[in-house]
Amino acid sequence: MTVISEEQLPTIQVRELVRAYFTTFLPRDAVSAATQAFEREYPLEDAVEWLHESSENPLWHGLIIALRCGQLLPRPSRLILGQVYGSEQLGAVLARDFANLEQEQLQLLCLDTKNQIIKRQVIFQGTLNSCPAQPREIIKVALTTLTARIVIAHNHPSGDVTPSKKDVEFTKRLQLACEVVGLPLLDSFIIGVTDYFSFAEQGLLNCNTDS
């Protein structure tokens, strides 16, 4: 009996799926040649890498998508950018990170179920006094990241962290949009020069993280 090591198992699984894929539309005597051609282009021992890419060949592109959806190979470890323990801790970190920005900037922080930051992205960087953005832009990034909950933050270069009428209206619209897709908005921060304003700390957000 041949003993298969754990290192070999993913490669063998991929080869079997490749052959099964080609048998769906190729004659039986052509399957082996097609499988070998695919392996020359995409070495199976490197499958963890190319599995997350695409191919210009439409037939092979379909196969890669099928393998990716199969979840049979380990994905690369997800980068953890930090842990969120509360608004006070995160507000202090954001105040430091936003220091010296001359333009208003809106950032999105995507968190997993353990409140670990798995993605941080600048959604918009505006002029000196404005930073227009739409909730749909934030929702789109969050959903493609497969995040469990989100936090947004933007700075006031003037240093005054008092929320403007537009700040309040935007946060309300974003929270409503998040509720529609079942995505909790944990907090919305306004960052000044050395301090911050937290909508959650001020009781201006009703967040349910049970979903």
pLDDT tens for the chain, 211 residues: list them: 334 344 444 566 667 777 776 776 667 787 788 788 878 877 766 665 555 555 565 556 666 655 555 433 444 444 445 567 788 888 888 988 888 888 889 999 999 888 888 899 999 887 645 556 788 889 888 888 878 899 999 999 888 999 999 999 999 999 999 998 888 999 999 999 888 999 999 998 876 555 4
Domain match, 36 and 90 both: no
Domain assignment present for 206: no
- Looking at the fold, whether 65 and 88 belong to one and the same domain comes out as no
- 27 lies in some domain: yes
Does 184 lie in the same domain as 120? yes
CATH code (residue 177): 3.40.140.10
pLDDT at 154: 94
Q: How far apart are CA 120 and CA 139, in angstroms?
A: 13
If one counts the domains in the chain, the total is 2
Are 155 and 193 a contacting pair, CB within 8 Å?
no
- Residue 64 shares a structural domain with residue 87: no
**Residues 53 and 89 placed together within one structural domain of the fold:** no
pTM here is 0.60
Based on the domain organization, do 120 and 193 belong to the same domain? yes
Hey, what are 188's tokens?
A: 């919305």
Based on the fold, state whether residues 156 and 97 are members of the same structural domain: yes
Q: Are residues 65 and 109 in the same domain?
A: no
Containing domain of residue 93, as a range? 82-198
pLDDT for residue 25: 62
**Per the domain annotation, does 4 fall within a domain?**
no
